[in-house]
Structure 1
Amino acid sequence: MKGFPPPDHPGALIQERTGEICLVINGKSGSQNSDGLSDPDVLCATLEERTGRKVVRVSPEEDGMVEATRAAATGGYAMVIAAGGDGTIAAVASAIVKAEREGFPRPTLGVLPMGTFNFFARSLGISEDLEQAVDGLVTGTPAPVGLGQINDTVFINNASLGLYPRILREREDIYANWGRSRIAAYWSVLRTLLRPGRTLRTRIRAGGRTSSIRTQLIFVACNAFQLREYHLSGDDHVNAGRLALLHSKHEKSLALIWATLRLAIGRSRPGRSFGLIADSEITIDLRRRTKILVAHDGEKTMMAGPFRLQYLTDAIEVVVPEVPKEGR
């Protein structure tokens, strides 16, 4: 199986000892797949048949996300497969990064997208069709991938402050009542915008400069593909190993609503609606020192500032069908 580390790879010794795969599958993800591979038992059996290796399954619903992903990252597996949405993939990737810092050998990450948007998988050319994604795990090769980090939290696509975390909170309520879909996600944007929140008063340090910025939204990306999908600036910076921080230029309700709706449907006007700051390390200070809600890859966490962000070059290795030609 090409997706496993080659003999000269640091993880090869672990492969020789166990040769096992760990599957972290989130049954709550918003998968659009209707085939049998969405069933955890069927998926496990298929992976064992296709790879010829034992598959050990851990379930975040039963064990808790932190416990499940740490067990996967530190268990001596040759590969850890994350089956779920971007939040599940981010949790597994974060656990791998943290385990390596503690001295554990780094397993290769496999991705089976079962979420609503699947930005991470799509950025690497991984099919949203589960059958094709499994084929990619069997025939693909490991490629280094950069990630982002805000304080102690690793993210695979983006982290944000201000308006977007509130959108995610609204989205959860809508999902609970109407189910997961992209239409429901867009509706959560509009409902949140009808109740604008407090303006963030920030000092942002990057590249030796400090900028005082008032904004309703800060969006920090480490995924160039997602920026291109949203028609936002900064993908060239991400491809060069820097974070792209975008901040809304609008504070008034109507202009903010229009700019954010254009962002949600991928029709943003970068220069007119959003300012751009890019660097491999960025610090955000808020005038108010209380904890605020921070969004990261579709999840939410209360965090206290200052917010220290950094780009983690080649933080993990992911099995990909082919190395993206234009960068993820």
Structure 2
Amino acid sequence: MGELRSKAEHTEAIRAGRRVCVVVNTRSRRGRRRYPQVLRTLRAQGFDILGLFPVEDPRHLRAILDAALEAGPDLLVVGGGDGTLSAAVKHVAHRDVALGVLPLGTTNNFARSLGLPLDLAGAIRVLRTGKVADIDLGIAGDREFANLASFGVSVEVAGTVRPWLKRLLGRAAYPLTALTILPGHRPFRAFITVKGRRHELLTHQLNIANGRFHGGWQVARDISIDNGLLVAYQLGSGKRLRLLLETLVRAGTGRWRSLAGGPFVIGTEMYLETDPPMAADVDGEVRLMTPITIRTVPNGLRVMVPEDFVDS
């Protein structure tokens, strides 16, 4: 993709020139409502908008992202939920352009992992006063992802949760939908091989995280999107009641645990087998099946983050 500027040079170029292209998913209710505010605020902050790209049909998102990058911005500003941002991540990865995130989704896991304010004015302020950082990407099979690959009941939840419920309840819509699916869901066996050691577990839900958040809640206090590691963890066990209780606690409190307290499997590369074979939800896309290899690409993506973000 060509040589990249240093992070300091890239940060200075954004602060001095403020050359941006803006892509907003206006198909979503929140994106459509906030789109005029996004433009007003960016212009008021002195950004030079090279191109505006509202996304009215998600099927055209990839072509729209290509067109936005062809305009040559220093910063590609993308507004939408985790699905929209996941597509943007794949386009910006390994390029000399930074991704600016506007959290306009339901759970905003990626924005939370970057430590961004979740209000629009705060997120845009980071685009003006923040810094360029290089963060890790995950790769599941041949698909890059920013946040999470998941297996089990969540794959069914993603295909079942109603848009009106997400609008009404926000991130609580996901655990509530899970409660309707869980009674008929069968547990599965997962085998995770890391550095030659094979871990076996029985569960209804397995996640392998690159980012720090799932469903809008932090997975553990010492997970990072910039430490070169993946973290695999199960929710509950093979017992529905335990998963039910964990789901209710997580929905009610968003409680977090330290990696030191487990149960977590940590590594830079993981080979996952399941019995039976299962579909993988990779940042919202369900197109892969187990067995699958998942690994990290350190510093694979440039993003605009707050000044206090710890960039390793």
The bucket for the TM-score relative to the shorter chain is 0.7 to 0.9
1:108 aligns with 2:93: no
1:134 maps to 124
Letter in 1 for 2:241: L
Structure 2 unaligned runs (5+)? none
Change in CA separation of 1:15 and 1:263 when aligned onto 2, cut-off 3 Å: closer
Letter in 1 for 2:287: M
1:268-287 C-alpha deviation (Å, 9 max, x unpaired) = 6789x973211011111234
Counterparts of 1:66 and 1:166 in 2: how far apart (Å)? 25
Letter in 2 for 1:245: A
Counterparts of 2:124 and 2:115 in 1: how far apart (Å)? 13
Structure 1 unaligned runs (5+)? none
Counterparts of 2:11 and 2:309 in 1: how far apart (Å)? 23
Alignment of 1:149-228 (within 5 A): 149-172=139-162, 175=165, 179=168, 181-195=170-184, 197-224=185-212, 226=213
2:250 maps to 263
1:295 aligns with 2:281: yes
1:25 aligns with 2:38: no
Task: Specify the SS of the correspondent of 2:90.
Answer: helix
Structure 1 residue 305: Cα displacement: 2.6
**Paired residue for 1:147, among 113, 137, 143?**
137
1:33-59 C-alpha deviation (Å, 9 max, x unpaired) = 9xxx94424423432442341331223
Counterparts of 2:70 and 2:292 in 1: how far apart (Å)? 28
TM-score (norm: length of structure 1): 0.78
Task: Specify the SS of the correspondent of 2:206.
Answer: strand
1:120 aligns with 2:115: no
**Paired residue for 1:242, among 229, 232, 248?**
229
1:67 aligns with 2:68: no
Structure 1 residue 137: Cα displacement: 0.9
Letter in 2 for 1:313: P
Structure 1 residue 242: Cα displacement: 0.9
1:106-141 C-alpha deviation (Å, 9 max, x unpaired) = 211111111122232233232112122212211211
Of 259-268 and 141-150, more deviation after overlay is shown by 259-268
**Paired residue for 2:86, among 75, 90, 102?**
90
Counterparts of 1:7 and 1:202 in 2: how far apart (Å)? 40
TM-score (norm: length of structure 2): 0.81
Task: Specify the SS of the correspondent of 2:178.
Answer: helix
**Paired residue for 1:317, among 289, 292, 302?**
302
User: Could you say what the CA RMSD is over the residues aligned between the two structures, in angstroms?
Assistant: 3.7
Counterparts of 1:44 and 1:311 in 2: how far apart (Å)? 35
Structure 1 residue 7: Cα displacement: 9.6
Q: Conserved in 2, the CA contact under 8 Å of 1:205 and 1:283?
A: yes
Q: Conserved in 2, the CA contact under 8 Å of 1:143 and 1:323?
A: no
Give the paired residue count.
305
Change in CA separation of 1:130 and 1:251 when aligned onto 2, cut-off 3 Å: same
Structure 1 residue 86: Cα displacement: 2.0
1:40 maps to 35
Change in CA separation of 1:186 and 1:211 when aligned onto 2, cut-off 3 Å: closer
Structure 1 residue 73: Cα displacement: 4.2
**Paired residue for 1:53, among 40, 44, 48?**
48
Letter in 2 for 1:54: I
Change in CA separation of 1:288 and 1:122 when aligned onto 2, cut-off 3 Å: closer
Letter in 2 for 1:122: R
Change in CA separation of 1:138 and 1:38 when aligned onto 2, cut-off 3 Å: farther
Task: Specify the SS of the correspondent of 2:48.
Answer: coil
Change in CA separation of 1:249 and 1:275 when aligned onto 2, cut-off 3 Å: farther
Identity rate of aligned residues, in percent?
Answer: 25
1:307 aligns with 2:292: yes
Letter in 2 for 1:157: N
Of 247-256 and 277-286, more deviation after overlay is shown by 247-256
